[in-house]
Amino acid sequence: MCLICGWIYDEDRGDPDHGVAPGTEWKAVPVNWTCPECGARKEDFEMVQI
């Protein structure tokens, strides 16, 4: 979950609009990827259980 805006990365959905295919595990998301909602960096995310 993004600590800035609360957007949640879902591994099943990925972020295909920004180059991350559905099914991509979080650890495989590129380090330069940013939150599609607010532009926060990957390091600004924290694991949450939903």
Positions at the binding site for Fe cation: 2, 5, 35, 38
- CA 46-6-20 angle, to 5 degrees, is 70
Residue list for the binding site: 2, 5, 35, 38
**Residue 35 main-chain phi, psi, to 5 deg:** -60, 130
For the chain, report the end-to-end CA distance as a whole number of angstroms.
Answer: 10
